[in-house]
Structure 1
Amino acid sequence: MSEWREYILEDVIDKFIDYRGKTPTKTTFGIPLVTAKIVKAGKILPPNEFIAREDYDSWMTRGLPEIDDVVLTTEAPLGEVALIQDKNVALAQRIITLRGKKEFIFNPFLKYYFQNDTGQHKLQSRASGTTVFGIKASVLRKMPVELPDIEEQKAIASVLSSLDDKIDLLHRQNKTLEAMAETLFRQWFVEEVEDDWVEGTIYDLIEFNPARKLAKGEMAPYLEMAALSTNTFNPDGWYLREFSSGTKFTNGDTLLARITPCLENGKTAYVTFLENDQVAWGSTEYIVMRPKGNLHPFFAYSLARNSDFRDYAEGCLAGSSGRQRVDVDHLKDYKISTPSATRIKNYNAFAESITLKLHANSQQIHTLKTLRDTLLPKLMSGEVRVEYP
């Protein structure tokens, strides 16, 4: 096993690409632009800004990215980090791209170094600024880093990346399952409405904010609005907290953000993470939806993700600009027909099979994330060592 040594970052970095101080002309399509806004949780999210292909050469004069280069955000926010997986991108301000010298640094290891508390502390403690809090390139270059030899770096990164790869695979599986559910819901309940269905409103099918009981001061799982996803059923992160005042919910409930811009952004959840009969609570800005009668609970979530319904919900916003909320009484007037018993039976069978798989995957994701988060500081400090040839 190697001993860890301390280096100055600039001594072990081959390329230090910094486009701060430059502002590209942005377009609606072209070469994807990697900005600080899309570097999150160890990943580069799908881009929403681009530069024209004909501007690429004139813009990218300070260095070109390569696969597995480390992208580090330097301000607003500071310390988000990811690996470049597609070198056909442009680099924006507020990020610095690092490429380690091959004999000193394995780039995936460097990503995990910055994700760990030690790396984060070194960045935060060297940051400065009043209106914008960030780290200067000159300061970052002089930051000390502790490294084992290159083979141990590769072994450590292999352990952590294998966990991340499995988590990503499960997320992709759930995304595919949700896409199937959304397609079937649209076909069965929007496009293929039958003559014998009873015309009505959503209030005929969905109960809003059903009564749940929690005693004041009782410890119960708490779910923040920030934990709701914009594109998947499973919220990310909940914790025990004394109940004071908030929206209460149980397994099988659908949570719909009722405040702008959370509603427009798509924040929605289908609750599966609680124990049987456990009651949780969260933001007063949730609308809780639960199907009535014999409809499967997932029906409410599928409806909440439906684009027609979401457009209608946005039309129900009321209040002052910037703090508008959905008027639930208005929302209850959304027109939808009550399906036949046969259609309900078929949908319920489908929903039960898909929710079992979604829940199993989400549980495995939670377990793997916990393991990864436990191992990360131990591996990056040398407390736990990895065998390697």
Structure 2
Amino acid sequence: MEKVLDNAFAKAENDNVSQWNEEKLGDLIEIKYGKDHKKLNNGNIPCFGSGGIMRYVDTQLYDEESILIPRKGSLNNIMYQNNPFWTVDTMFWSKIDKTKVFPKFLFYQLTLIDYTILNVGSAVPSLTVSVLNDIDVTLPPLPEQKAIATVLSSLDTKIDLLHRQNKTLEELAKTLFRQWFYENIEDCKFEKLGNYVNTIDNRGKTPPNKPEKTNFPLIEVNALKDETRLVDYSVIRKYVDEEIFEGWFRAHPKKYDTLFSTVGSIAEVSMFLLEIGSIAQNVVAFSPINGMSPFYLYEVLCFYQRDIKEFDIGSVQPSIKVSHLMDYEIPIPIDLTKIEKFDQIILGNCNKMELNYKEIKNLEKLRDTLLPKLMSGEVRVKQ
């Protein structure tokens, strides 16, 4: 991908960049208000709030290209839509003047703005139409806008494909577990979870942390909520330095250990596949012992998640006591060769997911490096 893109770029020429025009956003788009969704029936049309998709409804608000801009809440969560959609009152949508601007180009340019600086709210972050209309937008000629958007879109398309591949691999593992083990539960014996795991537990140990990124992210509960078994490092906001990482924690998880949340959003499950970082005190790690497969362990905890949540002993907020969980009985196949075959398949899936994740990060880095350079004219697209 990088080699193909290298051939697409040229050095910027100052005289060409001077042909770019500056426009007000209000001259390029008509900003519209979202509407209440509560009376709409369920359907297959996405309904957006400022945090993302809220539900799917049966009615569209608009069906052409549009840029969605938060009115309240997560102000930097700009979205592009090219399919029918609905937005609620916390999310603006827009009609775009395509004679002046290529919609996808405008979307990418608007993602460079920090909208929190434009916040006019007090208790709740907010934007207004007048504030947004006054934003300055620099535009190259339409053909170059399209060329720039095409380059950036090709990267996003590849990233999306890799995410979908990982989701498919995850769904395959769950289907295989259900067919091989749950649907043949009579071929299993039930034994206590505690017989098959060692627990890595840093509860009561709150390390000194910092918001600046280091090589040692602190994995908290919100990072266990990805659609796949991969830890979602994009939501992590706390990091430790190497000295704290090496000396503060009781222990660190090992590759393929299962991560499990015990406080707050309880029974969230992930796998320590990438071997990056350590766990915060509301997350424990389970290392398989006594012949337990790490992949089977992960699937068991996912499959019986609803049952496990019944161990909640919290009052102010949900909480699970690990010692109670150790008494939970899980199915263990009598024929262990089934687990061995399951391991072989899922190990291959996990290896592919790991490679996909690394490629996603490389492509995101490339896109995020190119984006401001293309938008400023520092790097030009050959046409």
TM-score range, shorter chain: 0.7 to 0.9
Q: Which amino acid aligns with 1:176?
A: T
Structure 1 residue 327: Cα displacement: 1.4
SS in 2 for 1:248: coil
Quote the sequence identity (%).
29
Name the counterpart of 1:200: 191
Kept in 2, the 8 Å contact 1:16–1:96? The answer is yes
User: Does the 8 A contact of 2:261 with 2:284 survive in 1?
Assistant: yes
Q: Which whole-Å CA distance do the structure 2 matches of 1:92 and 1:337 have between them?
A: 45
Structure 1 pair 377–268 and aligned structure 2 pair: CA distance change class (3 A): farther
Greater shift in the superposed pair: 166-175 or 136-145: 136-145
Residue number in structure 1 paired with 2:88 = 92
Residue 24 of structure 1: how far off its partner (Å) = 4.4
Q: Quote the offset at 1:164 in angstroms.
A: 0.8
The reply on whether 1:272 has 2:279 as its aligned counterpart is no
Aligned residue number for residue 8 of structure 1: 24
Taking a change above 3 Å as real, the CA distance of residues 91 and 257 of structure 1, as seen in their structure-2 partners, is same
| Amino acid aligned to 1:203 | G
- Compute the displacement of 1:270 (Å): 1.3
Is it true that 1:48 corresponds to 2:40 in the alignment? no
Equivalents in 1 of 2:215, 2:161: separation in Å? Answer: 31
Tell me which amino acid in the other structure corresponds to 1:354.
Answer: N
2:320 to 326, 349, 373: 326
In 2 relative to 1, CA 83–138 (structure 1 residues): closer, same or farther, beyond 3 Å?
same
Closer/same/farther in 2, CA of residues 112 and 359 from structure 1, 3 Å limit: same
Hey, what's the Cα distance between the residues in 1 that align with 2:134 and 2:27?
Answer: 9
Match of 2:376 in 1: 381
The one of 321, 337, 342 aligned to 1:342: 337
* Inter-partner Cα distance in structure 2 for 1:70 and 1:8: 15
Q: What is the TM-score of this pair, normalised by structure 1?
A: 0.81
Q: Which residue of 2 aligns with 1:228?
A: 224
1:147 aligns with 2:150: no
Give the one of 98, 105, 122 matched to 2:101. Answer: 105
Q: Which residue of 2 aligns with 1:162?
A: 154
| Structure-2 change in CA distance of 1:66 and 1:352 (3 Å) | same
Matched, 1:366 2:361: yes
Q: Tell me, yes or no, if the aligned pair for 2:21 and 2:140 is still in contact at 8 Å.
A: yes
**Other-structure match for 1:42:** none
Deviations 1:237-282 (A, max 9, x none): 268522355873232112122222x236xx432122237xxxx313
- 1:251 has 2:252 as partner: no
Residue 315 of structure 1 is matched in structure 2 by 310
How many Å apart are 1:221 and its aligned residue? 1.8
The amino acid of 1:273's aligned partner reads L
Distance 1:96 1:247, change over 3 A: farther
In structure 2, give the amino acid aligned to 1:112.
Y
The equivalent of 2:39 in structure 1 is 26
Tell me the equivalent position of 2:125: 133
Q: Which runs of 5+ in 2 are unaligned?
A: 1-15
Matching residue's letter, 1:104: K
Distance 1:220 1:80 in 2: 26
Find the residue that maps to 1:200 and give its secondary structure.
strand
Distance (whole Å) between structure 1 residues aligned to residue 72 and residue 368 of structure 2: 24
CA pair 241-181 structure 1, distance change in 2 beyond 3 A? same
Count how many residue pairs are aligned between Structure 1 and Structure 2: 350
Please give the alpha-carbon distance, in whole angstroms, between the structure 1 residues aligned to 2:376 and 2:170: 39
Partner of 2:240: 241
CA distance in 2, matches of 1:363, 1:165: 16
After superposition, the CA RMSD in angstroms is: 2.8
Q: CA deviation at 1:227?
A: 2.9
Q: Note the alpha carbon deviations across 1:319-352, whole angstroms, 9 max, x for none.
A: 223x221111221122223222212221221122
Q: Secondary structure at the match of 2:68?
A: strand
CA distance in 1, matches of 2:50, 2:321: 31
Say whether residues 1:114 and 2:114 are aligned partners.
no
Residue 263 of structure 1 corresponds to which residue in structure 2? 266
